[in-house]
A = this chain, B = another copy of it.
Amino acid sequence: MGASQHDALQVAHILLQADLRGIKTHGLMRLKEYYRLVKLGKIQPRATVQLMHETPSTALLDAGKGFGMVAGKRAMDIAIAKAETAGTGWVAVRNSNHFGIAGAYALMAVPHDMIGITMTNANPLVAPTYSMKPLLGTNPMAFAVPAGEQPPFVADFATAPVARGKLDVLHLLGKSSPVGLLQDEHGNPTVEANILMRNGSIRTLGGHVETGGHKGFCLSAVVDVFSAVLSGANFGPTVIPTLGYLTGDNKSEKDKGIGHFFGAMRVDAFQKKEEFMKQMEHWINEFRKAQPVAGQERIVIPGDPEREHEEKHLKKETIPLMEEVVQEVLAIKEELGVKAAF
């Protein structure tokens, strides 16, 4: 699509990591959408990432409307380097695009004995508490924590109760959404899985105020502020949608892309590394051995399901892809005249 080999490999690496970890909605399935956005000029494959400002523990990057993965990798590299010298490193990115799974960047910190943190804002699909319209993205956060002899703790989650991809799948299967997740264009509750395409919204994590939905709003808002206001990207309702069915009238807004926020904290910038690792192992052991409710086998440690997918696929030396996705990728290969065997 015009990207340098270096940048193309970075995009491929993050997409394949999603498929490897069993997060199909963020894997090679996305290539078709990225290609559409490249053709529309929304993603600039030849963009260069620019360092705009820095302090001993921070930096601001402008992604130049390139692939989010290229800026994301660069940002996390800088955060890790700053953490080496300053104890922690924090990098905000503006003018960017979708960067794939948030967890991939957070995980980069772990081999350095650091905690990794990633956030991003996104297309407005989530209605804040009491709002009729969607003003926030599903705004994921990821935290990866090294744990000594244990595999790392990796929490990688949208701050909305359900992902858009999951709703698409429910709709394709002719199923309804669980109660309490969605509202229609008037703000009334609905279980219609394709309501986002008709001006509906996802509700915040926690649902109604009585069940803590305003806390979910706070959390999504914080991700928006850290990702987009610290960096100078388009925030919440001012994000220029990349989804065809979002018709937000943002023509008056400058397009500064979406924003991300990355962090790395050396665990020994706080207590001794050995003490931290021992205690994090203890944490994981305590939760792993806790008694599950009837009908459940275990308490799931964040990161375990994705790691189990990864181990299974690596053992078989294969990543299963859906036939439709393979066909989409082959069609793009054909159209671009890519010669490499595949």
Contact = CB atoms under 8 A, between A and B. Distances in A.
Interface of A: 52-53, 55-58, 60, 85-88, 90, 92, 115, 128-133, 135, 143, 145, 153, 155, 157-162, 178, 180-181, 183, 186-188, 205-208, 210-212, 214-219, 221-222, 224-225, 229-232, 235-238, 265-267, 269-271, 275-276, 279-280, 282-283, 286-287, 290-294, 296, 298-300, 302
Interface SS, A side: mixed
B225 A58 contact: no
A205 B212 contact: yes
B292 A132 contact: yes
Nearest to A140: B215
A219 to B, nearest CB: 7
Number of copies: 2
B269 A211 contact: no
Nearest to A177: B210
Contacts of A115: 225, 230
A157 B214 contact: yes
B187 A294 contact: yes
Contact of A57 (B86, B162, B296): B86
Contact of A238 (B208, B215, B222, B286): B286
Contacts of A229: 145, 276, 279-280, 283
